[in-house]
Amino acid sequence: MRQFTHHLLRGCLLGLLVTGLGCGGSNTEPVTGQVVWEDGSPAGELADYTVEAELPDGKTVARGSIGPDGRFTLSTFRPEDGAEPGEYKVLIAPVSRAEFEPPLTVTIPAKYHTFETSGLSFTVVRGQKNEPILKISKNKK
């Protein structure tokens, strides 16, 4: 009986460890989108920028680097795992740069740098293709 209790206790502890450490499946959906200019052309000039998407709870943020074709793939918990379903507020901001790196060649209006002012959003839906297009403007010259 004592050996049975020992094995039962060990099994319960192992179960708690596995579930407590988040070893279960992810709740994310793949999200691959594109940033485009107002005229619909890809914003490839923003390859030194990142897209950040936040759920209303403020606790879940997904991020993705913008590539030379304006495309991005979001990551939440693991690289390119996507984002959890829900309505996201979005910002686009430059990737942090070291002092010795050259300045950005393309800048966008500062309104896109915060969730509150960007005016950008999209919805991630389970079981659907999630390919948001984020249309933005260039800085006025």
Tens-place pLDDT, residues 25-43: 579 999 999 999 999 999 9
pTM over 0.85? The answer is no
Cβ atoms within 10 Å of 70's Cβ, excluding its own: 22
- Tens-place pLDDT, residues 53-112: 999 999 899 999 999 999 999 999 999 999 999 999 999 999 877 877 777 777 899 999
Domains, the chain, with CATH or none: 26-136 (2.60.40.1120)
pLDDT value of position 141: 66
Q: Is the pLDDT of residue 18 over 60?
A: no
Neighbours of 37 (CB within 10 A): 17
Report the pLDDT value the prediction gives residue 86, as an integer from 0 to 100.
Answer: 97
